[in-house]
Amino acid sequence: MIVDRIQVAYLETTSGTPIGTLTQLSEATLEVSAESTDAVDKNGTLIKRFWRGKTGTFTATNAMLNLNVMAQMSGTSK
């Protein structure tokens, strides 16, 4: 999959409550790490590799000063 640019980022709490959207993002990176577990037969031949997701981090630069974002980052209301 190739992503040319970010149109919008939607923010929500872990319970699904909407927090806001960001529309001026640039320089985005997505880092994912996973751990693999192999299933092998009696000869040690790989039958199946199972990937289990562990962590994911999305980082981007917001092109404009946004007081809503600053309030979210500091843990306060607007």
**How far is Cα 33 from Cα 52, in angstroms, rounded to an integer?**
9
Answer whether residue 65 shows pLDDT above 70: no
* pLDDT per position as a tens digit, 28-58: 888 989 999 999 999 999 999 999 878 899 8
pTM over 0.75: no
Q: Which residue has the higher pLDDT, 75 or 29?
A: 29
Q: Which pLDDT score is estimated for 68?
A: 72
For tokens 């962590």, name the residue.
55
